[in-house]
Amino acid sequence: MAEQNKTKSNDNDEPESGTEVIKAYLKNLTTSSGVYRMLDKNGTVLYVGKANNLKNRVTSYTRLKGQSNRIARMIRATTEMEFILTNTESEALLLEATLIKKMKPRYNVLLRDDKSFPSILIRTEHEAPQLVKHRGARKQKGDYFGPFASAGAVNRTLNTLQQLFLLRDCTDSQYESRTRPCLQYQIKRCSAPCTGKIAIEDYKALVKDAKDFLRGKSSHIQKNLQEKMQEASKELKFEEAAFYRDRISALTQVQSHQSILPTGFEDGDVFAIHTEAGSACIQVFFIRTGQNWGNHAYYPRIDKSHTASEILESFIAQFYDNKPVPKLILTSLKIENETLLEDALSTKAERTIKVMFPQRGSKAELMAHAHINAKEALARKLAESSAQSRHLEALKNLFNLEERPNRIEVYDNSHIQGSSPIGAMIVSGKDGLMKNQYRKFNFKQEEIAGGDDFEMMRIMLRRRLKALAKDHGTQKYKEAEKSTEQEINQDETPHWPDILLIDGGKGQLSAVMKIIRELKLKDIKVVAISKGPDRNAGREQFHIENQPSFMMELKDPTLYYLQRLRDEAHRFAIGTHRTRRKKQMGANPLDEIQGIGPSRKKALLSHFGSAKAVSRAGLKDLKAVDGISEQIAETIYDHFHD
């Protein structure tokens, strides 16, 4: 792969039309396959495209006649081009998808909300394999099962696996330090291999059954359990027989809720697209071991000139940029470059991948079901967007804004008498809540004396706004966002908020306005919302600097909207605070000491009984513990005695 040097076609005079710039590149452009980038005068990437013949493709941009309005605008804005040569067109397709996701060009179909999907991992590097939820790169040694469409689907499956197969979910360090079974064993969700309640060989047999279950062999497992139950019953081991009976009951319940798919379709992904009113929804169903492991709806950024086939092809290429590719992909319509997409995905997966548009049979019925889901999801999305637009228009009038707000940031904090303090920010915009832009703010205990809410708000807003000013300047919008091409960016949410909504009263408002003036920021409306008399919902008071406080009509829809935003910020803050507090409560002081691993930690806890007793122990007592050398004993003693 080689990149052609980028040069401006005219160093002295800015060209009147983008076609002149593009024509200048044709003189030295080859006919090989590759990827091209079109840039504007600010160096911003406008478009990323691929071509089997770069020269022919770029030639098509040297005339405006016959182009769609979208392409014509793009050509006029182009002042520079960059090229990357590739060995094959399929390689160009993969590179194009990667660059689109990285650079987010405004004229491309863009996959938004591209999160990684969770999987189930059975770690095999330990003698007693651990069962965990996994997200991200598959670097750990073990067997992976997934993807699942949501964390909820994974959690339900993990819960089932623990009930059926009693596999441990504790960390290796917890496993090594256990001296007696934990609560999971008491409630019959773990077989406690850590304390020898089950032999390692018998535990591995449970692990094998769990893997078979996740591979769709549940009937085989049920037959084995029935045989063991009958055998235990014959030997009058009624408690053991009841144990197998409960596992069979749980397995039967799971089987009744599983979505079994057509015969012959074991593993694959289903993509169904529906377009309407210049928007698109793509439903993705994950099928593994003949079971539906959930679905997820996507709303890619598109232009009205894009065809459904173009959208789906670009979406699938971007979708698998950071995800494993199944052996079969079903689509709701025929993709124009189906063979090219197959070759590209096969190259990425290093095995044969098939892309299919089913037109008859059980697979076509499954696709019809997926398309109905896409159609209904888009209808809901459009209805929600319409309602959201009305709310934003109402906020413009309520708070006397020049334009309808495109970004609202809501702030709240949470603590218990100053302990485990957490700040939280949620974001809402044209499409509603944007959870991928939520942020949490951690505070050091010494920063917040006695849980000072005003100081927490000052620190949180100072961090947030200073980071924004550093990354995006102090202007509310870039010049490009104010240009005549603003309609292209209508889906994009600006970095700077139009409204800062603060949970609190005049004190919190004063703290935030101090930061606003300190950073010399403008065009940001700051509103504090405090609870009304007796903390009654609906009697909230709104505070804006240099204006008298006011309340809204009890049944005003805009009031309900603001209440939902405040409550969502409160929910996020409380949840984050609880997570931090739980983590701090479960922390062991011995984990902070350099050189203390699972074995030494277990030896210390076995000898002294608790971490608190270790902290009070003398140097001589520490040296008496098996495995604790004189140097390590001094390290432990110094840690607790400063």
614 and 551 share a domain?
A: no
- pLDDT of res. 1: 52
Structural domain contains residue 540: yes
Judging by DSSP bridges, how do beta strands 439-442 and 432-433 pair with one another? unpaired
Least confident of 10-14, 357-361, 392-396, 560-564: 10-14
Band (59; pLDDT cuts 50, 70, 90)? very high
- Residue 299 gets the label, from left (phi > 0), alpha (psi -120 to 50) or beta, of beta
Confidence of residue 538 (pLDDT cuts 50, 70, 90): low
> Of residues 444 and 524, which shows the higher confidence score?
524
Per DSSP, the residues of 514-581 read HHHHHTT--S-EEEEEE--GGG-TT--EEE-TTS--B---TT-HHHHHHHHHHHHHHHHHHHHHHHHH
Same domain, 10 and 63: yes
What's the pLDDT band for 145 if we cut at 50, 70, 90? confident
Q: What confidence score (pLDDT) does residue 9 get?
A: 44
Q: What is the mean pLDDT of residues 260-284?
A: 81
What is the pLDDT at residue 331?
94
411 and 558 fall within a common domain: yes
* Same domain assignment for residues 468 and 532: yes
Distance CA 428, CA 431 (A): 8
Structure-token pair, residue 478: 């870039």
H/E stretch holding 346 = helix 338-349
The answer to whether position 595 is within a domain reads: yes
Domain of residue 338, CATH code:
3.30.420.10
Residue 55 in this model has a pLDDT that exceeds 60? yes
Q: Which residue has the higher pLDDT, 259 or 68?
A: 68
Which of 380, 408, 440 is the endpoint of a domain? 380
Q: Is 172 within a domain?
A: no
Helix ranges restricted to H, 194-237:
200-214, 218-234
Q: Is the pLDDT of residue 586 over 60?
A: no
Do residues 428 and 360 both lie within one domain?
no
If asked whether residues 418 and 281 sit together in one domain, one would say no
Q: What is the pLDDT of residue 518?
A: 85
Return d(Cα 409, Cα 152) in angstroms, integer. Answer: 27
Burial class (CB in 10 A: 0-12, 13-18, 19+), 398: middle
- pLDDT(274) > 90: yes
pLDDT of residue 533: 58
> Does 301 reside within a domain?
yes
**Domain-located, residue 204:** no
Regarding whether 405 and 376 lie in a shared domain, the answer is no
Confidence of residue 484 (pLDDT cuts 50, 70, 90): very low
Give the pLDDT of residue 11: 45
With a cut of 70, say whether residue 4 has pLDDT above it: no
Inter-residue contact 297 to 112 (CB < 8 Å):
no
Residue 599 belongs to domain with CATH number: 1.10.150.20
Range in 73-87, 209-223, 366-380, 558-572 with the lowest mean pLDDT = 209-223
347 and 321 belong to one structural domain: yes
Read off the pLDDT of each residue in 264-291 and give the average, rounded to a whole number: 85
Residue-level pLDDT at 483: 40
Distance CA 413, CA 422 (A): 6
DSSP letters for 386-403:
HHHHHHHHHHHHHTT-SS
Q: Is residue 165 part of a domain?
A: no
- Count CB neighbours of 417 within 10 A: 7
List, in order, residues 6 or more apart from 67 with CB less than 8 Å away: 75
Final residue of a structural domain among 88, 103, 118: 103
Place of tokens 């605008």: 73
3-state secondary structure of 329: strand
Confirm whether 184 is domain-assigned. no
Q: How confident is the model at residue 490 (pLDDT cuts 50, 70, 90)?
A: very low
- Looking at the chain, the whole-number percentage of residues with pLDDT higher than 70 is 86
Q: Which pLDDT tens digit goes with each residue over 245-254?
A: 877 776 666 5
Judge whether residue 604 has pLDDT over 80: yes
Q: Which residues contact 329 (CB under 8 A, 6 or more apart)?
A: 268, 269, 271, 316, 345, 353, 354, 355, 356
**Between 46 and 640, residue with greater pLDDT:** 46
pLDDT band at 37 (very low <50, low <70, confident <90, very high): very high
Q: What mean pLDDT do residues 122-140 have? A: 86
Predicted pLDDT at 245: 80
What does the alpha-carbon distance between residue 212 and residue 639 come to, in Å, rounded to a whole number?
48
The predicted pLDDT at position 427 comes to 92
Query: Tokens 């004229």 — which residue?
Result: 107
Kindly state whether residue 139 falls inside one of the protein's structural domains: no
Confidence of residue 371 (pLDDT cuts 50, 70, 90): very high
Give the list of residues 6+ apart from residue 461 with CB closer than 8 angstroms, or none: 411, 500, 511, 512, 515
Question: What is the reported pLDDT for 63?
Answer: 87
User: Is the domain of 557 the same as that of 417?
Assistant: yes
* CATH number for the domain harbouring residue 81: 3.40.1440.10
Task: Give the pLDDT of residue 489.
Answer: 46
- How many other CB atoms sit within 10 Å of the CB of residue 175? 19
pLDDT bin (cut points 50, 70, 90) of residue 10 is very low
State residue 303's pLDDT score. 82
Report residue 532's pLDDT band, with 50, 70 and 90 as the boundaries. low
Domain final residue pick, 336, 351, 380: 380
Highest mean pLDDT among 65-69, 272-276, 484-488: 272-276
Are both 566 and 594 inside the same structural domain? no
| 301: pLDDT strictly greater than 80 | yes
- pLDDT tens digits along 445-454: 666 665 577 8
Token look-up 């139950």 returns 229
Is the backbone peptide bond immediately before 358 cis, with ω within 30 degrees of 0?
A: no
Nearest to 640 by CA among 617, 607, 610: 617
Task: Report d(CA 221, CA 212) in Å as an integer.
Answer: 8
Closest CA to 204 of 165, 173, 160, 172: 165
Is there a single domain that holds both residue 35 and residue 86? yes
Q: Residue 524 pLDDT > 70, yes or no?
A: yes
Does residue 592 surpass a pLDDT of 80? no
Write down the pLDDT at residue 519. 83
Confidence of residue 15 (pLDDT cuts 50, 70, 90): very low
Q: What is the pLDDT of residues 175-195, one digit of tens each?
A: 888 888 888 888 888 989 999
- Write the secondary structure of 149-174 as one string of H (helix), E (strand) and C (coil): CCHHHHHHHHHHHHHHHCCCCCCHHH
User: Does residue 13 surpass a pLDDT of 60?
Assistant: no
Cβ atoms 395, 558 nearer than 8 A: yes
Q: Could you tell me which of 259, 257, 251 has the C-alpha nearest to residue 226?
A: 251
Backbone angles phi and psi of 436, in degrees to 5 = -75, -10
The average pLDDT across 539-554 equals: 86
The pTM is what? 0.66
Tell me how many domains the chain contains.
Answer: 4
Instruction: Judge contact between 101 and 43, C-beta under 8 A.
Output: no
In CATH, what number is assigned to the domain containing residue 523? 3.30.420.340
Burial category of 9 from C-beta neighbours within 10 Å (exposed 0-12, middle 13-18, buried 19 and up): middle
Q: State percent of the chain over pLDDT 90.
A: 15
Judge if 458 and 539 occupy the same domain.
Answer: yes
Q: Which of 162-166, 309-313, 384-388, 457-461 has the highest mean pLDDT?
A: 309-313
Which domain, by its residues, includes 624?
589-641
Q: Which amino acid, one-letter code, is at 570?
A: H
Q: Which phi and psi angles does 282 have, rounded to 5°?
A: -120, 120
Check: CB of residue 305 under 8 Å from CB of residue 330. no
Q: What's the mean pLDDT in 384-402? A: 88
The more confidently predicted of residues 475 and 381 is 381
